[in-house]
Structure 1
Amino acid sequence: MWIEIIKLAVLFVLIFVIMRLLGKSLLSQWTPYDLITLFFLSYVGLSVIEIKDFSHGIISILVIGLLYSLIARLSLVQPLSQFIIGEPTILVKHGKLIVKNLKKSRYSLAELLSSIRSAGYPDIKEIEYVLLEPNGKLSVIPKPEVTPVTLQNLNITPDYKGLPIAVIVEGRVQHKNLKLINKDGDWLKNELHAKGYEKTEDIYYAVVREKELELMIQTLK
């Protein structure tokens, strides 16, 4: 029994390390070779428990990780990129459906219209392009006349207040984040005291902008 538990623990740690080494794209961008890699990792992982020679299973997982890394590198080479990753498919062009590409991609019209509405455009005539990306996500590009106005369009320069930095999370002081704004625990205590708070344990979330250094607090109540 203990041998099986140790096997599971080693297997869990190994797959976790492999997935960390493979990068975030394996978790966020589902390309064909991402799915194949996850499938084989799952299959080999389950099979290892039944394999008498545990080392064979470990080697198999390492080989899968190496193959994934190799394919990921090859996908950076321009001639191979289109084959390995794929290319975007145009589903809408100048406000008109490309029915042929919809059928080819096996993408339903109802799903397409729903995605366009979710992007904030109820009328398909407002859309310049809709692209089905290789990772399965939709890119909705509106026509210029319905594109939301930005401050840049109005020649307005906004005041940059800085990135929000969490300094307390669930009652715990985030010392590393305090260093990012060149502050320490004493500064935080003084700021909390000025706002009427004595214990950090009573604070669920506290954030400060790196430019303004104004503390915003959310308590447990």
Structure 2
Amino acid sequence: MQEPLVVIVRSIITFFTILLYARLIGKQQIGNFTMFDYINGITIGSIAATLATDLSSKALVHWIALTIFVVLTILLQYLGVKNRYLSKVQDSEPVVLMENGNILEKNLAAARITKDELMTQLRCKNIFSPIEVEVVLLEPDGSVSVRPISSYQTVQKKDLNIPVQFSKLTTEVIVDGIIIKQNLEQRGKDEAWLMDQLHKQGVRSLNEVSYAAILPNDFFYVDRYDDNISDELNISDYQGPY
């Protein structure tokens, strides 16, 4: 009975230690998840797991190791902000994989990426032909950034001299039959307006509404619990439970 109690106490200590240290480290590892960050995160997690469950050694030893890893991580973050060269040593820098439709085989080999993997990344960016590419960059976090040749880029409103209007956000006003009064007030509406909009769409009771929102173009959207889906849209030929 003593061992479970020790595990419980050590797990509680580990949980709140990780919570505190995660707040101290901040969001940098998530926002720029390099290979070093990935390995460092796994190591910190492994030490924390050992701290919580390894009863063959003292908890203090593992706690000290965990603290040292976190302190070093924060120190490297601070030095990386202050020193550009050290930041590049720690996180590396972008690598050009393609330029003007040409694959840079030397850089591709240095990054240990195959041509098939490169083409897969291009397709994920909705580019299916290499001749559409102006430049492809391998970012330090392993993601790929692609810039299409200008003639293949999507036309924007400013290119056509179309006035740009500020776009609002979708505002939820009913969720699971419950009115969100604060959101209504933010859009300058009241419950009387809301009920009028519901009646116009044939809704007689809030209990019928699963979700309702005021869209960015001020259109009122309603989704009911009762979804009348026609057989024409049912593409399944599987009679199982899913």
Normalised TM-score (structure 1) = 0.82
> 1:56-95 alignment to 2 at 5 Å?
56-76=61-81, 77-95=83-101
| Structure-2 separation of matches of 1:197 and 1:54 | 62
Structure 1, unaligned runs of 5 or more: none
**Residue in structure 2 matched with residue 35 of structure 1 by the alignment:** 38
CA deviations 1:190-211 (Å, max 9, x no partner) are 3442213543x65433333578
Q: Secondary structure at the match of 1:115?
A: helix
Report what 2:135 is aligned to: 129
- In 2, Cα distance between the equivalents of 1:6 and 1:71? 32
Asked if 1:19 is matched to 2:51, the reply is: no
SS of match in other structure, 2:160? coil
2:192 alignment partner in structure 1: 190
Question: Residue by residue, what CA displacement relative to the aligned partner does 1:151-209 show, whole Å, maximum 9, x if unpaired?
Answer: 11111013334122334445565566567x2669xx3x43442213543x654333335
Alpha-carbon distance in 2 for matches of 1:161, 1:147: 22
- Write the mapping of 1:158-173 to structure 2, written as runs, cut at 5 A: 158-170=164-176
The DSSP-based 3-state class of the residue aligned with 1:206 is: strand
- Amino acid across the alignment from 1:218: D
Match of 1:50 among 37, 54, 64: 54
Q: How many residues align?
A: 215
Match of 2:212 in 1: 206
Q: Which digits, 9 at most, give the CA deviation of each residue in 1:77-132, with x for residues without a partner?
A: 21212111111111101110000111111111111111112212211011010000
Which residue of structure 2 lines up, in the alignment, with residue 102 of structure 1? 108
1:136 Cα shift? 0.1
CA distance in 1, matches of 2:211, 2:148: 38
* Residue type at the aligned position of 1:157: P
- Taking the TM superposition and a 5 Å limit, the aligned residue runs for 1:149-164 are 149-164=155-170
Between the two proteins, what is the percent identity of the paired residues? 24
Q: Secondary structure at the match of 2:159?
A: coil
- Greater Cα offset, 135-144 or 30-39: 30-39
Cα distance, 1:18–1:122 mapped onto 2, change above 3 Å: same
Match of 1:113 in 2: 119
Q: Distance in 1 between matches of 2:34 and 2:114?
A: 20
- Of 6, 11, 15, 1:8 maps to 11
Cα distance in 2 for residues equivalent to 1:29 and 1:219: 41
Runs of 4+ aligned residues of structure 1 deviating over 6 Å after TM superposition are: none
Structure 1 or 2, whichever has the larger Rg, is 2
TM-score of the aligned structures, taking structure 2 as reference length: 0.76
* Structure 1 residues 119 and 166: CA distance shift in structure 2, 3 A: same
Q: CA offsets, 1:12-64, max 9 Å, x none?
A: 33323422442333234321331132122122012112154323333333332
Structure 1 distance, partners of 2:216, 2:40, is 41
Q: What RMSD over aligned residues (CA atoms) do the two structures have, in Å?
A: 2.7
